[in-house]
Amino acid sequence: MLKASRLLWILLVFGAFMAFGNDRAEADTALASWYGPGFEGQLTASGEVFDAQGFTAAHNTLPLGTEITVSYAGRAVDVVVNDRGPYSGGRDLDLSQGAAEYLGLTHAGVDYVDYEVAGAGYAADDGYVERDHVQRDYAQDDYATADYDEGSGAEAASGGSYTVQSGDTLTGVAAQLGTDVESLMAANGLTDPNVVYAGQTLVY
């Protein structure tokens, strides 16, 4: 009886150790997208300048500065949450272009990934920067009808910006802004006039 109770005690302790002894959280599954074109150089929610080729991510609830390991299609990458979003499409995670390219997610555009927290974020979101008008939607089939930021319109002078909406074309956007396609491409570093994404911010 004594041996049985000792064995039971050992099993209970071992079970508790297995349940609580792992420092890493279990992996979660998230619907993820990616962003980059049109956002290079803008401020992220953390106050850092966005680097499309960096390994960062946007998430709406994880503390800024949280390090997460994202896995997809047999590859894994460590990214730091330095931005907020995504804001539409039922997605949970928005990866920088560089991280998405490393994982092979850019071709799919939007897909499920696994992720786990690898490091704690900032104690508080003290560096949070509120950004107006950023609504990202990077499903690969969403191409360029434009909604303007507050204070802009077809008659607005150059030097503004607007957010591309689903169904827009660069030609239509240029016509509404009173500019031409070549100028928009040059101002935004675009190489293909047929590829603009809903949620992309264009400057003019």
Structure-token match 């150089």, residue found? 41
In the prediction, which pLDDT does 193 show?
77
Number of C-beta neighbours around residue 29 at 10 A: 11
23 residue type, one letter: D
Of how many residues is the chain composed? 204
Residue 180 lies in a domain: yes
**Cβ neighbours, 10 Å, residue 8:** 10
Selection from 143, 139, 122 nearest residue 62 by Cα:
122
Identify the pLDDT of residue 130: 43
CATH number at residue 161: 3.10.350.10
Does residue 125 fall inside a structural domain?
no
Backbone angles phi, psi at 110, to 5 degrees: -135, 130
**Residue after which a domain boundary falls, among 56, 84, 119:** 119
CATH number of the domain at 53, please: 2.40.40.10
DSSP state of 1: -
* pLDDT score of 145 more than 50: no
More confident site: 180 or 22: 180
Residue 44 counted as domain residue: yes
Tell me, yes or no, whether 140 lies in a domain.
no
99 in the same domain as 33: yes
* CA–CA distance, 184 with 16 (Å, rounded to integer): 60
Q: Is residue 70 part of a domain?
A: yes
Domain that holds residue 191: 146-203
Considering the domain boundaries, does residue 129 fall inside one? no
Same-domain pairing of 65 and 115: yes
Sign of CA dihedral 146, 149, 150, 153: negative
Q: Which of 72, 100, 119 is the last residue of a domain?
A: 119
Question: How much is the pLDDT for 177?
Answer: 77
Both 93 and 170 in a single domain?
A: no
Q: Is the pLDDT of residue 166 over 60?
A: yes
Compare 35 and 129 and report the one with higher pLDDT: 35
Query: What does the pLDDT read at residue 25?
Result: 54
Query: For 82-139, how does the pLDDT look when each residue is reduced to its tens digit (9 = 90+)?
Result: 999 998 888 999 999 999 999 999 988 999 999 999 887 764 444 444 443 344 443 3
User: Same domain, yes or no, for 155 and 192?
Assistant: yes
Q: Which of 119, 138, 157 is the last residue of a domain?
A: 119
Instruction: Tell me, yes or no, whether 110 lies in a domain.
Output: yes
pLDDT at 79: 96
115, 158: one domain: no
3-state DSSP helix/strand/coil percent for the chain, to nearest 5? 20, 25, 55
Structural domain total, the chain? 2
Tokens of 28: 């979660």
pTM metric for this prediction: 0.53
Same domain, 197 and 161: yes
Residue 193 domain flag? yes
In this predicted structure, the answer to whether residue 34 has a pLDDT above a threshold of 60 is yes
